[in-house]
Amino acid sequence: MQDIEREQMEFDVVIVGGGPSGLSAAIRLRQLAIAAGNPDFSVCIVEKGSEFGAHILSGAVMEPNALTELIPDWKEKGAPVRVQTKGDRVYMLKNETKYRELPEKIVPSLMHNHGNYIISLGNLVRWLATQAEELEVMMFPGFSAAEILYNEDGSVRGVLTGDMGVNAEGQPKSGYEPGYELLAKYTIFAEGCRGHLGKRLISRFNLSEGKDPQHYGIGLKELWEIDPAKHQEGMVLHGSGWPLSETHSNGGWWLYFDENNQVSFGMVIDLSYHNPYLSPFDELQRLKTHPLIRNILEGGKRLSYGARALTKGGLNSLPKLYFAGGVLVGDDAGFLNPAKIKGTHTAIKSGMLAAEAVYEAIAAGRQHDEVPTYEQKFKASWLYNDMYQARNFANAMHRMGIWMGGAFNFLEQNIFKGKMPLTIRDRMPDYDVLERADHAYIPEYPKPDGKLTFDKLSSVFISNTNHAEDQPCHLKLTDPEVPIKRNLKIFAEPAQRYCPAGVYEVVQSDSGAKFVINSQNCVHCKTCDIKDPSQNIVWVTPEGSGGPNYGAM
């Protein structure tokens, strides 16, 4: 397979990932080129999903400032950004039946949503893709970027897309198509959280030197259509406490009332949790049995389900953003405000800043070198201030717990306005905090009723997840013996529970335990790559077009 002759395509800029940051970078590059009278400036964007937006999942409440900077007339152009927030409510769930609504004055100011919009991020990305296409960006959906291509001096020269039509043993099937070499003066990596190429770049160029380890959460979402009598369009609900309080884990839930009697319901759980028996999927199902949530969803219809990891380390974990031949943007770098639990406006802005720096470099006749002006532009922008104000939010919750951490964040955000002369560090990686299974509390999860609560497999079914038959498994084990010989003995093999799609199983038989990987179920959330306590699972991109196909998520 190594000696196959591959077609090469050359561009000024190649962008890996068609989410909000990648598309915003593409749009901004073409805007700058057209304004400078350089219409032949070529931009290519490669997206592993079957279409732009297919793999996009978020809450989502969006601050419109970055979108307005990118496309000032977005309203006139029909952006799917219509439902403005009309009120905030924040709850503390005390136990399985009781709760308390928190007074607005004690809620950290960054959690207020006045002037924001409830959106489907998937629909916004589809719309951004149409804007990029109108600007003549070369759009390649359904193609995965499988490898990074380097020049002899070690600088990035582009990417290799994955071969199509390869069997599980790595041999060509009928209809085999070799991948393309996409070459560029600069490559922008916008893969999203824990991008498999971004992870390699961070390691190769030592981009995280002197930074805290990146921290993550897993976000699980269900889209519901509810009784119109219960619907309050524009209302935003957030909460924390039960059920995560039973395992002393951090996280919270949301419920956003969108248009057409739909509500976005979901939960973010910090992947710094300690209990190996915790199951994020089942915590979401258990949460729905609380009267506060049940009364809203009961009698409605679940339309879709999905899950993805998200970065939560914030500014303290942000790597160096540039390297010879390219840059990192969006969630690939860690641009998410953990206090606001929002990444759309930060992703858009990071893509714009990278585009401006890269365009200036190419206009000056440069290529394949470092672009430090990207980081300089970031530090001079509102994006840096936005992330600086929230730099301690997640770390305070990790280090101090929900009550003391919440009190600290209230003081920092409401009294010191994000400028407290103190930076809290959190240097313990998320994978390295699990306690031994024989010391851990085992939560009781409800049996699914198929109306309000569900099982994993029926949930994966409505995520429209699919992968081509007989292709190489994209979930690689560094050592196949680790899951049974180490993880099962010490941690009761937590992959069975932390995966929100039922990919991993331990099957017992007369010959002993066997670790089974059902890669067909994978929703590309990357949780296994992050949380495996032995760091033995490596997520790589499967064949293009595989994975979930989310609708209005």
Quote the crossing angle between the two packed helices 382-389 and 344-363, to the nearest 10°: 140
CA distance 97 to 120: 30
Catalytic residue selected from 30, 302, 308, 391: 308
Active-site residue among 187, 286, 463, 499? 499
Which of the residues 525, 527, 541, 545 is marked catalytic? Answer: 525
499 belongs to the catalytic site: yes
**Residue 547 DSSP one-character state:** B
Distance CA 382, CA 549 (A): 34
Q: List, in sequence order, every beta strand (DSSP E) within 200-283.
A: 216-225, 235-241, 251-257, 262-270
Residue 7 to residues 160, 172, 183, 236, 257: CA-CA distances in angstroms?
A: 10, 17, 11, 50, 48
249 is catalytic: no
Check 58, 279, 465, 527 and give the catalytic one: 58
Q: Which amino acid is at 100?
A: R
- Residue 26: what residue type? A
CA separation, residue 456 to residues 305, 354, 498 (Å):
10, 39, 12
547 touches 49 (CB < 8 A): yes
Say which of 240, 272, 311, 528 is annotated catalytic. 528
Task: Please answer whether residues 514 and 525 qualify as being in contact, where contact means their C-beta atoms are separated by less than 8 angstroms.
Answer: no
Residues whose CB is less than 8 angstroms from the CB of residue 73 and which lie 6 or more positions away in sequence, other chains included: none
Do 90 and 238 contact (CB within 8 A), yes or no?
A: yes
Percent helix, percent strand, percent coil in the chain, to nearest 5? 30, 25, 45
Q: Is 525 a catalytic residue?
A: yes
Query: Angle at the Cα of 522 (from 517 to 528), degrees rounded to 5?
Result: 70
Largest CA distance in the chain: 72
Catalytic: which of 24, 161, 279, 344? 344
Q: Known catalytic residue: 473?
A: no
Catalytic residues: 58, 308, 344, 499, 522, 525, 528
